[in-house]
Amino acid sequence: MHSTDPRSISAPELHRWLEAEGMPPRLIDVREDSELEVAPFPGDVLHLPLSRSSDWMDTVLGELQTDRAVVVLCHAGIRSRHFGLWLLAQNGALEVWNLEGGIDAWSLQVDPAVPRY
């Protein structure tokens, strides 16, 4: 049975996952351009700003593989959770995780070099 809700992952757990051997998750950042300018996530992310969803909604599912986990993030974890719910509604075979507390938690718990806003 497929999950209809994204799994939660803490910033320290995500950091360990990204540092581990093996296939890293696909990171998707749904924040706006201005937010990324202030506090970019220190890693390779697919940037899909929610305000421009009409630009990517028809093609994003083709960019994701069901054999690679997806971790979605935003500023505090709310928008990314909603995006994760949408992803799972479109394709329940995806493994979707939501970064609890978003980039703010990453800054506080993992990398203080990432500015808070």
Q: How many angstroms separate the CA atoms of 57 and 104, rounded? A: 26
Structure tokens that stand for 100 in this block: 């609890």
Tell me the torsion sign for CA atoms 46, 78, 66, 43: positive
Q: Quick check: is 35 catalytic?
A: no
Q: Which of 28, 72, 74, 103 is catalytic?
A: 74
- Residues marked active site are found at 74
